[in-house]
Amino acid sequence: MDFGAGSCWITEALARMGQQVTAFDIHTDLEGCISGRVEADKRIDRALISHATGDGHAMPFDDNTFGHALCYDTLHHMHDYDKVFSEFARVLKPGGRAIFVEPGAKHSTSPETIEFMKLKSHDPTWIERDIVLEDINRCATASGLSSLAIVPMQHPSTPTVFSCVIGESSAGETYGYGTCFLRRWQRPTTISVSFSIARYPANFRLLAGFTRWSCVG
């Protein structure tokens, strides 16, 4: 399961690896996201992909449905970690893993998050929470998951799909390193790049477009 699938880029990546995958999200356009990807690249095997809309606190799946669950950047938007973990434990088959890629313990109070929340002020349902590993361990253990493994991700040295320049400081230095994933949204002609930077410098400004690209892997 791709939990909190969003635009379904992880769903696409898993299907490309030959995995049967279910995109799951609270939004209602999963079909649009998936069909856009499949139309854009006929090599993606549509038969491997299913989708379901619902709330992660009460997942619309039977017990023991999934071999594994991958949650990219979504757990920290959940209101009730206990409920979500008990749902992961319920829908996973014995031996299954729930894998999370999430920000850390000070996420909710970081300057970037505070700025971002201003953009989301129209949406009272949007929350940005901390991921405190002790809490996660407690929730996971209480839900019946048996072990917690942590893989620290280092920025900016995490493996990069594409490296690109996304901005520059007034001193002319360029920034834009980190994990950059090429994403394709619904329209085949449109791509967007997700980037991750540990911290923007104070004088950082976003460039209007991508001026340079270098493929590094």
Ligand X SMILES: C[S@@+](CC[C@H](N)C(=O)[O-])C[C@H]1O[C@@H](n2cnc3c(N)ncnc32)[C@H](O)[C@@H]1O
* Residues 51, 30 contacting (CB under 8 angstroms): yes
* Residues 30, 5 contacting (CB under 8 angstroms): yes
Q: What tokens were used for 127?
A: 């929350």
CB of 6 vs ligand X, minimal distance in Å: 3
- Say how many residues touch ligand X, by CB under 6 A: 16
Please report how the helices 9-16 and 30-40 are oriented relative to each other, as an axis angle in degrees rounded to 10.
50
* Residues 69, 98 contacting (CB under 8 angstroms): yes
Query: How many angstroms from the chain centroid is the CA of residue 140?
Result: 19
* Residues 184, 191 contacting (CB under 8 angstroms): yes
Question: Which residue in this structure is represented by tokens 């893989």?
Answer: 151
Q: Is residue 7 a contact point for ligand X (CB under 6 A)?
A: yes
Count of residues in the chain:
217
Rounded to whole angstroms, how far apart are CA atoms 30 and 174? 35
CB of 57 vs ligand X, minimal distance in Å: 6
* Residues 11, 181 contacting (CB under 8 angstroms): no
Amino acid at 50: S
CB of 130 vs ligand X, minimal distance in Å: 15
**Max Cα distance, the chain (Å):** 56
Query: How many angstroms from the chain centroid is the CA of residue 103?
Result: 10
CB of 180 vs ligand X, minimal distance in Å: 13
Binding to ligand X by CB under 6 A, coded x per residue (else -) over 152-181, reads ------------------------------
Binding to ligand X by CB under 6 A, coded x per residue (else -) over 49-68, reads ------xxx-----------
Q: Which of residues 70-129 bind ligand X (CB under 6 A)?
A: 72-74, 77-78
CB of 201 vs ligand X, minimal distance in Å: 24
- Between 10 and 145, whose beta carbon lies closer to ligand X? 10
Segment near ligand X (CB under 6 A); pick from 6-14, 15-23, 149-157, 196-204:
6-14
Choosing from 1, 6, 145, 195, the residue that interacts with ligand X (CB under 6 A) is 6
- Between 53 and 169, whose beta carbon lies closer to ligand X? 53
Q: Which of residues 22-41 bind ligand X (CB under 6 A)?
A: 25-27
- Between 25 and 168, whose beta carbon lies closer to ligand X? 25
Residues of the shown chain interacting with ligand X in the complex, contacts defined by CB under 6 A: 4-7, 10, 25-27, 55-57, 72-74, 77-78
